[in-house]
């Protein structure tokens, strides 16, 4: 029984970690949508007003980090 409880706790901790990752992704998506709502350029892809600079850099760093995690053994 005690060992089942340990397994359950470990699974719960794993789920908390996964939920934290999802929360961070949603918060990033929220920041991107806010930045997009402030952008005054004809297209977001060619934003020159600076509204997208921070979130674009953040997204790039996130994708690099996620790629590094995916590549790690």
The answer to whether 36 contacts Zn ion (rule: CB under 5 A) is no
Residues 6+ apart with CB under 8 A from 55: 28, 31, 32, 35
39 lines the binding site for Zn ion (CB under 5 A): yes
Q: How far is the CB of 15 from Zn ion (least distance, A)?
A: 38
Contact predicate 64/56, CB 8 Å: no
User: Per CB under 5 A, does 55 bind Zn ion?
Assistant: no
Task: Give the Cα-Cα-Cα angle 16, 19, 22 (nearest 5 degrees).
Answer: 155
Kindly tell me which of 42 and 73 has the beta carbon lying closer to Zn ion. Answer: 42
Q: Contact residues for Zn ion (CB under 5 A)? A: 39, 41, 47, 49, 51
């Amino acid at each position: 029984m005690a060992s089942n409880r340990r397994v359950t706790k470990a699974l719960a901790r794993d789920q908390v970690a996964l939920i934290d990752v999802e929360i961070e992704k949603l918060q990033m998506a929220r920041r991107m949508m806010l930045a997009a709502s402030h952008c005054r350029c004809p297209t977001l892809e060619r934003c020159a007003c600076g509204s997208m600079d921070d979130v674009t850099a953040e997204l790039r760093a996130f994708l690099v980090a996620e790629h590094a995690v995916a590549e790690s053994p």
